[in-house]
Structure 1
């Protein structure tokens, strides 16, 4: 079995400390490990990602160019975000804005530099919005060259305005575990297919 790598970007608003998105991303990486995929979680807010739509540094101390290299070095990208007002976090939107540069960055066969990479979405929150977020991120990730397998999202949304966080649960809900497992299997499957059968050159 071909070994693969995954980069999981946690777009929590917090640079460190407890994060429900971290917990579900960790479970997703555990599920991916069952398919010979190794990975790591990176807390984006712990890095200085400046606003912009290019891959180049937008100013002194811009950490995006280094993060970009890690994105492109991985076979699988997991984009994890909490729900804020029914939408992805501002940190997640910043990542998408910087990934926008891939549209004009191509290899020697005219394909976007992200062609051949697959992506999935992980969402946590205490309000509605998981499906809306998946729809937004699927479209954005596809626009910048990532392949989205079927069932490439896992999420947990607690009781509206509730006080229980995902990280506080005594055990993983069965449906969340099943969905995470299915997402991991599909991500690894499609990543291997694309490794063996790359997209054709752009004419």
Structure 2
């Protein structure tokens, strides 16, 4: 799970709290879950695998290649993904041209989902932007592989400060985990082949 909150550790993160609901369900299914808070790392701007000068993206890239399920979690700011989420996606752009030994894009046979929190409307927009980018990179994004929480347009309380809407967000988060797990298992048993040609 890559948490794209703007808050550095150890500051509490609403996005982490909702992502943790999904993580608990994945753990119950036997999945090992690791959390990464991108803002804590020196992830330089760019679209290559290594921008040099202390860039920590190569470590994240290795983790991505070692994982079968990726969940990107982002708050909503001005109806859009966080700037940190955009930075992560820009760095993942380099993966589009990377292939494995059979010629498949390196993200093939990996699944991805999205967790979103925010105080204004726009969660579906954030989900579609992130899920669309992950699909471009080669990830399989199952149906309903997302959850979100917000209390409508305008300013409002945070996920950690208000219990309203948690039942729905938590229920869809658990369904998201089950969908990701099911599709990851299916791809493990019947992987996508190399592209034709």
Shorter chain as normaliser: what TM range?
Answer: over 0.9
Instruction: Give, in whole Å, the separation in 2 of the partners of 1:62 and 1:172.
Output: 39
Say which of 56, 60, 83 aligns to 1:63.
56
Range with bigger deviation, 18-27 or 173-182: 173-182
Aligned mates of 2:6, 2:174 — CA distance in 1: 26
Q: CA RMSD in A?
A: 1.3
Residue 42 of structure 2: SS of its match in structure 1? Answer: coil
Aligned pairs, number: 195
* Counterpart check, 1:51 vs 2:45: yes
Partner of 1:32: 26
Unaligned stretches of 5+ residues in structure 1: 1-7
Residues 1-203 of structure 1: pairs in structure 2 closer than 5 A? 8-16=1-9, 17-55=11-49, 57-170=50-163, 173-203=166-196
- TM-score after normalising by structure 2: 0.95
Q: Please state how far the C-alpha of 1:178 moved relative to its aligned partner.
A: 1.4
Q: Deviations over 1:61-90 (max 9, x none)?
A: 101000111111111000000001000001
Q: In structure 1, how many angstroms separate the alpha carbons of the residues matched to 2:90 and 2:3?
A: 16
Question: Displacement of 1:54 after TM fit?
Answer: 1.3
Instruction: Report the CA distance shift for 1:28/1:172 in structure 2 as closer, same or farther (over 3 A).
Output: farther
Deviations 1:147-169, CA, capped at 9 Å, x for gaps: 00010110001243334110123
Which deviates further from its counterpart, 32-41 or 98-107? Answer: 32-41
In structure 2, the gaps of 5 or more residues are none
CA contact (8 A) 2:44 2:57 kept: yes
* Dislocated runs of 4+, deviation >4 Å: none
Q: Structure 1 residues 105-114 or 158-167, which shifts more?
A: 158-167
